[in-house]
């Protein structure tokens, strides 16, 4: 996903993408799982994730994610890490499955764009052990995100292992609510927040689904 620099049309398109994904996310996986079941021998899974994103320094040493940024300058390419939990995650295949708590960690990079819309890359790892001993391990799911205001859409993909059975390639889609809380007064809105301090930490919460990729 490339950078979207300026323009009303570009902003409307990106906001439309987030809105469309958020509204269709939960319905999308069951339809895909049903259609692809005989081909890839896997059904879908999902849950609700709760976590914190922590933003680091840009290339000039400025800490946090600012409300406004300069392409190639201050506020551009801000790295971040994520630490999250999904307390009731379930994923099933024809052969085996997983039910339990999963830990989601990773990192990414937030590119500069016309505020408050940003795009960027994100890599996540999903691990978990269920109450009956079932295990899931997705060591590297790679992809992109797009944020319009406080709405974030994530799409990443990769391989997982469930109870020592390797899955086909899966896609992780999520529609998240982004809520800055550190420092007090930092935030996002439909227009730049004048004199607001850069976001250092923010909560994110929302549903996610995993479903097979058919090639």
The pLDDT tens digits for 80-117 are 999 999 998 988 765 678 889 999 999 999 988 655 67
Sequence-separated (6 or more) residues with CB below 8 Å from residue 57: 63, 78, 79
Name the DSSP class of 94. S
The phi-psi region of residue 96 (left if phi > 0; otherwise alpha if psi is between -120 and 50; otherwise beta) is: beta
The pLDDT tens digits for 159-180 are 988 888 887 788 999 999 999 9
Phi, psi (rounded to 5 degrees) for 9 = -65, -45
The pLDDT tens digits for 34-81 are 333 233 344 678 999 999 999 999 888 889 988 777 777 777 889 999
Q: What pLDDT, on the 0 to 100 scale, is given for residue 146?
A: 93
């Amino acid at each position: 996903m490339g950078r979207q620099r300026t323009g009303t049309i570009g902003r409307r398109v990106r906001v439309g993408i987030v809105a469309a994904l958020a509204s269709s996310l939960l319905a999308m996986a069951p339809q895909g799982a049903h259609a692809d079941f005989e081909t890839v021998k896997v059904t879908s899974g999902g849950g609700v994730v709760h976590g914190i994103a922590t933003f680091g320094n840009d290339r000039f040493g400025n800490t946090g994610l600012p409300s406004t940024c300069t392409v190639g300058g201050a506020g551009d390419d801000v790295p971040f890490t994520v630490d999250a939990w999904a307390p009731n995650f379930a994923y099933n295949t024809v052969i085996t499955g997983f039910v339990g708590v999963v830990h989601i960690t990773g990192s990414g990079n937030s590119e500069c764009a016309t505020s408050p819309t940003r795009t960027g890359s994100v890599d996540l790892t999903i691990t978990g052990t269920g109450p009956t001993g079932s295990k899931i391990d997705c060591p590297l799911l790679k992809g992109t995100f797009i944020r319009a205001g406080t709405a974030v859409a994530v799409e990443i993909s990769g391989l997982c292992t469930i109870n020592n059975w390797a899955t086909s390639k899966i896609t992780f889609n999520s529609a998240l609510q982004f809520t800055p809380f550190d420092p007090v007064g930092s935030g996002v809105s439909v227009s730049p927040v004048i004199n607001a301090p850069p976001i250092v930490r923010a909560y994110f919460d929302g549903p996610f689904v995993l479903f097979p990729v058919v090639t």
